[in-house]
Structure 1
Amino acid sequence: MDHRIHQTQSHALQFPAMKKPGVKQHISANFKDVLREVQSLKVSKHAEERLNERNITINEKEWQTISEKMSEARHKGVTDSLVITNKAALVVSTTNNTVVTAMNRDEASSKIFTNINGTILI
Structure 2
Amino acid sequence: MKPKINSMQQHQFLQMPSSSIKEKRNTKQDFHKLLQTEQLKMSKHAEQRLRERNISINKSQWQKIAEQIDKAKQKGITDSLVVLNRAALLVNTKNNTIVTALQREEVSERIFSNINGTILINE
| TM-score normalised to structure 1 length | 0.68
Equivalent residue pairs, number: 85
Change (3 A) 1:39 1:64: closer
Q: For the pair shown, which has the larger CA radius of gyration, 1 or 2?
A: 1
Answering whether residue 82 of structure 2 is matched by residue 80 of structure 1, we say no
Between the aligned partners of 2:115 and 2:40, the Cα distance in structure 1 is 18
Tell me which protein shows more helix as a share of its residues.
Answer: 2
Answering whether residue 59 of structure 2 is matched by residue 60 of structure 1, we say yes
- Aligned counterpart, 2:48: 49
Alignment gaps of 5+ in structure 2:
1-36
Counterpart of 1:57, as a letter, is: S
Counterpart of 1:110, as a letter, is: E
| TM-score normalised to structure 2 length | 0.67
1:42-75 deviation per Cα after TM superposition (whole angstroms, max 9, x unaligned): 1110000000000000001100100000000000
**Which SS does the other structure have where 1:48 is aligned?**
helix
Change (3 A) 1:56 1:100: same
| Contact 2:38/2:66, CA 8 A, preserved across alignment | no
**1:5-44 aligned within 5 A:** 39-44=38-43
Question: Where in structure 1 do 4 or more consecutive aligned residues deviate above 3 Å?
Answer: none
Counterpart of 2:118, as a letter, is: T
**Which SS does the other structure have where 2:77 is aligned?**
coil
Between the aligned partners of 1:39 and 1:66, the Cα distance in structure 2 is 10
1:21-42 deviation per Cα after TM superposition (whole angstroms, max 9, x unaligned): xxxxxxxxxxxxxxxxx55211
Alignment gaps of 5+ in structure 1:
1-37
Between the aligned partners of 1:43 and 1:60, the Cα distance in structure 2 is 15
C-alpha RMSD over aligned residues: 0.9
Change (3 A) 1:66 1:49: same
Answering whether residue 105 of structure 2 is matched by residue 115 of structure 1, we say no
